Chain A
């Protein structure tokens, strides 16, 4: 059994000052409530994490993935995502001697309409070059070489016309955009009347190679290795988890640095014009009367300007100096054209708030104008501003992408998602990753900010305010 024996202390009077009767509940401010409701909204909170993730990608990404976005790797142009491919190190200056013939070019020979015989590969076929040679065809005035990715079916299906050579040249080194794959080379003799219909074809498998000097420059072979040791060794090329672009630059690094450009424009421009709109609209609304009239009339003028047309016009009007990326003029043009929308919004809100009873009360208590603005008006405006800011970000990102698409955006080599899309769209069929990744980044960002905006708007909606 458990028995309790009261002590004298239990009968002491309560101390003064302890509010034992107070019903206590933690107070929830408006912002705390917004935050709580935002967290409850699954979609909004996911997009919030995405936005945070994007920020990390942009700011911390380059610290982790320390690849120079401007580093061109001409051995790996437009490569699909990979984790480092193997390459054979080859000697630098090993061009095979050209096979030429003067004697056979004499037109005295009776032309024989046949394909070049003994069409063959001389030396190894690798990404630095494919050496081909063939025997002369009597009476030919020249030779035409083709390269196909499929096995040719007839004389009209020989693939890319690589080069037309003089009759004296009986060998050729193909270096044109070689990929590591199977090619079908064809040779055709050319006569005075035109190309012969007879052709010789050989299949060639191209392997990845790297020049010794290039391997040394990139530190892929040991410093103390002699040339003889290094040549013929296999080295692993840099890995490109998202592939490379048209100059062999790492897509992941470019996306990270492109994010800096795109998000910089996407966030700074709205911040700037929303603040300008806030000051302008606030001033107009607060002063009222004639000032308000004139100020708002001017804002209306600016709104009336056809947006995209003026965006382009201003963009070129501000001009560009050498080496400038063009981010400045883009920002400026965006700000000049976009502030009036916020100004209108703010003015409307200010006009409304001005009439509120608490403002009248504060004024009667002798509150100064700055106090009124800072303490009462601004906090009440914050919600509306935050929502419009969140929605302005995707719009700005889209505008940057659009301008880059029509060639008036950010200037290369500064990467931006929009200009990367523009570059990628041309090779959409052959190298879809060059379009897909930047387009996905834009889409994800726009999506995240839109959903976050939706969430914020719902969370701030006073009608939907939860009871705690």
Chain B
């Protein structure tokens, strides 16, 4: 074997050289010289078409490359985006657009672009899942149902820079609503020219936001560069955002961060957190606004439609134990309400103003409720109940805990039914379950995005809970614009959810993340795309400035 040895070594040196040279091509986490940062995404964006986008990753990208009439500033306050001025009366909204708002090809952004986009969202032919948002406008519902042409939507471009929208009802949170991705503009001529493949690649889309998508290698990497045509380009500090990695593996993300390849790693698990502490990294936490809960199947004939059975479970389900011991990841907080803690009330947070009931853990009371339930259902024993779960490790762990707890405290037999995403949804829609582990995140910055979830007409009310009182409370809250009255109504809804045990709240989701010390001003928001780098700057880089730190 002797003659082979030198060859082997030569090969190794070649390999080492090759590695070293190609490693240089990978962008670093923070490139101070070029004023660029690198980040990671957990998945490939599914749709970069604002008309049809539904997933969080697409929202995150779209939030950098498009801008609505209203937008969020560095502190998550709603401010004018493409709109310079606006006027909101009861059922009529007028927006005056900026004259200097332009598309990435230099053409001006006009009111027609918004009208076209909103018509497309409502248009049955687009099959947009967010079409329901357009019911806010007159004729919206009829267009979605295919009874009227999309052109009849109650939105009109009076001239190139004036947009008037007719609402079906006064909407207190309309300006918040308009920041949502589905309300972003789309230019008709370009959209039609691209046809089916619109936004399939970086060169098949137009931007009007702070950044432009310049590279998109599917499944592998993206690159966004500063948009020179953006009206407020001076306020944008970064020259480019690289996404050189796409991975759903949180360990890999953390490893990339530790290797100085990305400037932020989110969703750390316990292992990574311990390692981060050993490495003395600064850990941060963020709650994304989603509330998780155990939903019941309220359909008649199902055991869970019995209130006493639900109360029995409520009186033994210790969410503190769940959050602190079973989940054990800081950032998550026990939830006692459908409403998350961040929702604003009158002058304090909604939940600070109207604290939710915390169920008292009492197994004996639980058994008593169970006895009543058996009586009412006319059953000797409660049959095994099915708990439907998604196939993420976290949800299975919670399910196993629930199963164990119910069997130990109440003697109930719970069967876990783990299904992949679409199969779980199919079972939920068909009502083939007794309980389900579910979560709900906000679509807009108002308690209504949570409150109307259990109205009898809401299709997302997959457990088919139905009560006249609940419906009435929501209807009244929808009609009134008096914030104080609305909050009172929300607190009544909160009490009803507790008393009727419509759901068993579990926790508000939170993440622990690490962020490169050299960057500042990353906006974390619960609605739309998160995290957002529109207002981010690199310390010591050339265009660095002094914007206020984000949340």
Q: State yes or no: do A and B touch (Cβ within 8 Å).
A: yes
Residues of A within 8 A of B (CB): 70, 72, 74, 77, 147-150, 153, 156-163, 166, 175-177, 194, 246-247, 316, 319-323, 407-408, 411-413, 422-423, 426-431
Query: Does B416 lie within 8 Å of A412, measured CB to CB?
Result: yes
Taking the complex as formed, is B386 at the interface, i.e. its CB lies under 8 A from any CB of chain A? yes
Known: A412-B418, A413-B403. A426 touches B393 (CB 8 A): yes
Interface of A is mostly: loop
Query: Does B325 lie within 8 Å of A177, measured CB to CB?
Result: yes
Other-chain residue from A162, A322, A426, A430 in contact with B417 (beta carbon distance below 8 A): A322
Q: Which of B401-416 contact A (CB under 8 A)?
A: 401, 403-404, 415-416
Other-chain residue from B330, B333, B420, B423 in contact with A160 (beta carbon distance below 8 A): B330
- Residue on B nearest A423 in the bound complex, by CB: B393
Q: Which of B321-342 contact A (CB under 8 A)?
A: 321, 324-326, 328-331, 333
Which residues from A are CB-within-8-Å of B417?
320-323
Which residues from A are CB-within-8-Å of B415?
322-323
Q: How far is the CB of B62 from the nearest CB of chain A, in Å?
A: 29
Known: A77-B328, A161-B330, A323-B416. A247 touches B271 (CB 8 A): no
Which residues from B are CB-within-8-Å of A147?
330
Other-chain residue from A160, A166, A175, A431 in contact with B324 (beta carbon distance below 8 A): A175
Q: Which one of A163, A175, A176 has the greatest number of beta carbons of chain B within 10 Å?
A: A176
Query: Does B277 lie within 8 Å of A150, measured CB to CB?
Result: yes
Instruction: State in angstroms the CA–CA spacing of A100 and B349 once bound together.
Output: 18
Known: A412-B400, A413-B403. A161 touches B331 (CB 8 A): yes
The segment from B88-96, B133-141, B226-234, B280-288 found at the interface with A is B280-288
Query: Does A322 lie within 8 Å of B386, measured CB to CB?
Result: yes
Query: Does A322 lie within 8 Å of B325, measured CB to CB?
Result: no
Query: Does A427 lie within 8 Å of B352, measured CB to CB?
Result: no
Q: How far is the CB of A152 from the nearest CB of chain B, in Å?
A: 8
Query: Does A247 lie within 8 Å of B331, measured CB to CB?
Result: no
Query: Does A156 lie within 8 Å of B517, measured CB to CB?
Result: yes
Which residues from B are CB-within-8-Å of A413?
400, 403, 416
Instruction: State in angstroms the CA–CA spacing of A408 and B421 once bound together.
Output: 12
Which residues from B are CB-within-8-Å of A426?
251, 269, 271, 393
Instruction: State in angstroms the CA–CA spacing of A175 and B320 once bound together.
Output: 8
8 A-B pairs with CB atoms under 8 Å apart are A150-B278, A157-B282, A161-B284, A322-B417, A323-B417, A411-B416, A426-B393, A429-B275
Q: Which one of A153, A157, A175, A323 has the greatest number of beta carbons of chain B within 10 Å?
A: A323
Taking the complex as formed, is B397 at the interface, i.e. its CB lies under 8 A from any CB of chain A? yes
Q: How far is the CB of B361 from the nearest CB of chain A, in Å?
A: 10
Which residues from B are CB-within-8-Å of A412?
396, 399-400, 416, 418
Which residues from B are CB-within-8-Å of A157?
280, 282
Query: Does A429 lie within 8 Å of B271, measured CB to CB?
Result: yes
Other than the known A150-B278, A176-B324, what 9 A-B pairs have Cβ atoms closer than 8 Å?
A72-B404, A77-B328, A147-B330, A150-B280, A160-B512, A407-B391, A412-B400, A413-B416, A429-B275
Other-chain residue from B275, B325, B420 in contact with A316 (beta carbon distance below 8 A): B420
Taking the complex as formed, is B12 at the interface, i.e. its CB lies under 8 A from any CB of chain A? no
Other-chain residue from A149, A162, A320 in contact with B274 (beta carbon distance below 8 A): A149
- Residue on B nearest A72 in the bound complex, by CB: B404
Query: Does B400 lie within 8 Å of A161, measured CB to CB?
Result: no
Query: Does B270 lie within 8 Å of A430, measured CB to CB?
Result: yes
Taking the complex as formed, is B100 at the interface, i.e. its CB lies under 8 A from any CB of chain A? no
Query: Does B423 lie within 8 Å of A316, measured CB to CB?
Result: yes
Which residues from B are CB-within-8-Å of A321?
417
